């Protein structure tokens, strides 16, 4: 009773604090069966395969016989049950909901994307052979960060596809605490040349409008030149030099110029720029180029999808990586070195579209 009264008294305070503490587009809140609340980050819909190639290998709880179908399409009670049991079984990172009510996890939670993105999830749960994956780590803390987008608008990208890049950028920007103290956002777009979209800003509405206003121009794909431009005109002149620096490169094509040295120069600037490469395309050389651009380990920094329409569904995973790395950096001063250097990227079998430029 007393604690309830305290809660009521604190209500106005919490109401003020909580919107600040969460509400990102990738977060949902569930109630666990011990009565506590848990924020989950939606990581997205990923393929699974039969034994011995299961992505998340442990069916730690099966809720299929307890699904209350009268609540469909609201599957929150299933997601809550999987989250409750994950906590009980000490799976504190990721779990997946498969076949409407199976709860899967793994001691090596990075396996969740071993088989790439899937499209057959519905209402927050996987159907046959797909996991809808959640992260238990919850809200990303407010980060002092310069978050910079480098967006390809070369000739191979039509307006619908360019809109997919914009939606991705807006949703990822919105995932963080945008303010003078915390995250600032800038965008550069490139084709044969690189140009400012806008320099570092910290008003989310202004940022979203500025992203919407980025022009789709067309031309070649000079990623190397664009990386150098971004280093010189954004990172080197940023008002805040000692905050986390993140560059997210969005592209659909192979660069016409070399990316190796320009990308290394960006990554090694100052205290370091963490570089993510998000690519839509096919072919080993395309993936190899994303790996050259991105920070190591590639499996955490390269996000490779088959279709433009899938890009937006990777924002939860990218947000999760940006937050994870911050925790590592602040706790240990560097990334944990023991992560395997395997390139894990999302499904990339494209038969007919081939290489884009």
Ligand X SMILES: *[C@@H]1O[C@H](CO)[C@@H](O)[C@H](O)[C@H]1NC(C)=O
Contacts to ligand X by CB under 6 A: 158-161, 308
Q: In whole angstroms, how close is the CB of 25 to ligand X at the nearest point?
A: 24
Q: In whole angstroms, how close is the CB of 158 to ligand X at the nearest point?
A: 4
33 backbone dihedrals φ, ψ, rounded to 5°? -75, -5
Closer residue to ligand X (CB): 234 or 280 = 280
Closer residue to ligand X (CB): 26 or 156 = 156
Closer residue to ligand X (CB): 330 or 357 = 357
Q: Sheet with 58-62: list strands edge to edge.
A: 27-31, 37-47, 130-135, 94-98, 102-105, 58-62
Q: In whole angstroms, how close is the CB of 311 to ligand X at the nearest point?
A: 12
Q: In whole angstroms, how close is the CB of 36 to ligand X at the nearest point?
A: 44
Q: In whole angstroms, how close is the CB of 192 to ligand X at the nearest point?
A: 21
Closer residue to ligand X (CB): 233 or 309 = 309
Concatenating the DSSP letter of every residue in 126-140 gives E-TTEEEEEETT-SP
Cα 95 vs. chain centroid, distance in angstroms?
16
Contact 171, 313 (CB under 8 A): no
Reduced to 3 states, what is the DSSP secondary structure of residue 209? helix
Q: In whole angstroms, how close is the CB of 280 to ligand X at the nearest point?
A: 9
Closer residue to ligand X (CB): 91 or 308 = 308
The token pair that represents 182 in the structure block = 């915390």
Closer residue to ligand X (CB): 160 or 357 = 160
Separation between Cα atoms, residue 332 and residue 327, nearest integer Å = 8
Which residues have CB under 8 Å from 192's CB, separation 6+? Answer: 154, 219, 220, 221, 222, 256
The token pair that represents 49 in the structure block = 């395969």
Q: Nearest to residue 141, comparing CAs of 236, 58, 20? A: 20
């Amino acid at each position: 009773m007393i604690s309830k009264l305290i809660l009521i008294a604190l209500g106005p305070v919490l109401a003020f604090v909580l919107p600040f503490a969460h509400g990102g587009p990738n977060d949902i809140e569930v109630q666990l069966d011990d009565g506590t609340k848990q924020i989950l980050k939606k990581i997205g819909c990923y393929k699974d395969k039969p034994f011995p190639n299961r992505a998340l290998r442990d069916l730690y709880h099966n809720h299929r016989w307890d699904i209350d179908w009268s609540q469909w399409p609201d599957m929150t009670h299933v997601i809550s049950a999987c989250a409750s049991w994950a906590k009980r079984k000490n799976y504190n990172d990721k779990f997946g909901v498969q076949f409407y009510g199976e709860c899967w996890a793994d001691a090596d939670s990075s396996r969740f994307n071993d088989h790439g993105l899937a499209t057959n999830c519905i209402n927050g749960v996987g159907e046959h052979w797909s996991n809808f994956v959640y992260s238990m780590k919850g809200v990303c803390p407010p980060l002092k960060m310069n978050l910079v987008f480098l967006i390809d608008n070369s000739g191979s990208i039509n307006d619908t596809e360019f809109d997919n890049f914009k939606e991705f950028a807006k949703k990822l920007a919105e995932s963080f605490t945008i303010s003078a103290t915390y995250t600032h956002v800038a965008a550069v777009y490139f084709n044969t040349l690189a140009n400012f979209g806008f320099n570092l800003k910290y008003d989310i509405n202004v940022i979203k409008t500025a992203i919407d206003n980025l022009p789709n121009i067309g031309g070649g794909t000079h990623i190397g030149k664009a990386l150098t431009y971004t280093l010189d005109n954004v990172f080197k002149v940023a008002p805040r030099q000692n905050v986390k620096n993140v560059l997210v490169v969005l592209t659909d094509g192979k660069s016409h110029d070399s990316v190796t040295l320009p990308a290394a120069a960006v990554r090694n600037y100052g205290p370091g720029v963490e570089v993510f490469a998000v690519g839509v395309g096919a072919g080993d050389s395309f993936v190899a180029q994303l790996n050259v651009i991105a920070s190591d380990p590639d499996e955490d920094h390269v996000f490779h999808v088959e279709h433009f329409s899938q890009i937006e569904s990777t924002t939860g995973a990218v947000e999760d990586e940006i937050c994870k790395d911050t925790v590592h950096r602040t706790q240990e001063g560097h990334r944990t070195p023991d992560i395997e250097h395997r390139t894990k990227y999302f499904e990339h079998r494209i038969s007919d579209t081939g290489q884009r430029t």
